[in-house]
Structure 1
Amino acid sequence: MKLAEALILRADCQKRVEQLRQRLAKSAQIQEGEMPPENPQTLLAELETAVSELTGLIQRINRTNSQTELEAGIIISDALARRDTLVLKRSVYESLMRAASHSQNRYSRTEIKVLSTVNVAEIQSQIDRMARDYRELDTQIQAANWNTELLD
């Protein structure tokens, strides 16, 4: 099985666990004299199976990511960390740009003038570079996912 296939299965397992959470919540309480929509014990057993499968997939994915090189000297785990921090950093820069480019209307010369403390154009340029870096890195990671066999 390819790493990308395992990632798809992991997402499916996570969705299944969330569905079981919701179904358990609906079956957790009933009015006296009524039956629950589903047997909570059966749902809990399904949950245990789904979580066990999810644990195994996550372990194998992590093992594969930590032992597979994306390119010389860079393992997939390190590339994933870089990609995640690029998203975070870009988000902060976008917040800064929005805050700095927010204009205030002055109705008279006596009102306080508000000025930006950063160069909005330069911040936008940095955001664009981060977006490009993210796309390039994500493409490399996706390619590796489809070319890498999942380790046991």
Structure 2
Amino acid sequence: MLISEALAERAEANNRLSQLKGRLATVARVQEGDAPDENPQALLDEAERLLARIEELVRRINLTNAQVMVGEMTMTEALAQRDHLLAKRRLLTEFADRAAARQDRYTVSEVKYVATVDIRALRSRADEASKRYRELDLLIQQVNWSTQLL
């Protein structure tokens, strides 16, 4: 099984688990004298099987990520760097958007607000972080589709 396949299976299992939680909530209590629409124990058993499979996948994915290389760093390091770049881009973009927000003045006596930072420079830094994110994400995806899960 490739890393990418394990990631897809984990995502599917998490979605299925979320659905099961909703169904379990529906059958957890019924009016006295009524029967639940589904067997609560069967749903609970299925949820526990899914949790065990998710645990196995996470362990194997983490083990693989700690050993497989993406360029000159481990997959674990690459994923941390990718997350950092995404957070940085979002921070810079949101700050630039806030600084660039226009506030219309209807009279000269109204308070005028001005940006405290160089918006163009912020957007340029955000674009650079975004570019580095895309390049790193591409490398990560290539490794995910070519590496067997340990």
Q: Give TM class, smaller chain.
A: over 0.9
| Mapped partners of 1:35, 1:112: distance in 2 | 66
1:56 alignment partner in structure 2 = 56
2:41 alignment partner in structure 1 = 41
CA offsets, 1:38-85, max 9 Å, x none?
11111111111000000000000000000111113x000000001111
- The CA deviation at 1:95 is 1.2
5+ residue gaps in structure 1?
none
1:139 alignment partner in structure 2 = 138
- The CA deviation at 1:112 is 1.5
5+ residue gaps in structure 2?
none
| Mapped partners of 2:103, 2:43: distance in 1 | 56
**Matching residue's letter, 1:99:** R
| Mapped partners of 1:91, 1:3: distance in 2 | 27
- After the TM superposition, which parts of structure 1 deviate over 3 Å for at least 4 consecutive aligned residues? none
Stretch of structure 1 that moved more, 32-41 or 59-68: 32-41
2:148 alignment partner in structure 1 = 149
What is the TM-score with the length of structure 1 in the denominator?
Answer: 0.95
2:96 alignment partner in structure 1 = 97
Q: How many residues align?
A: 150
2:69 alignment partner in structure 1 = 69
| Mapped partners of 2:91, 2:70: distance in 1 | 27
| Mapped partners of 1:27, 1:118: distance in 2 | 56
2:112 alignment partner in structure 1 = 113
Give the percent of matched residue pairs that are identical in Structure 1 and Structure 2.
Answer: 41
Does the residue aligned with 2:76 lie in a helix, a strand or coil? helix
| Mapped partners of 1:145, 1:63: distance in 2 | 13
| Mapped partners of 2:29, 2:90: distance in 1 | 42
- The CA deviation at 1:35 is 0.9
1:86 alignment partner in structure 2 = 85
| Mapped partners of 2:87, 2:36: distance in 1 | 43
Cα root mean square deviation, aligned: 0.9
Does the residue aligned with 2:21 lie in a helix, a strand or coil? helix
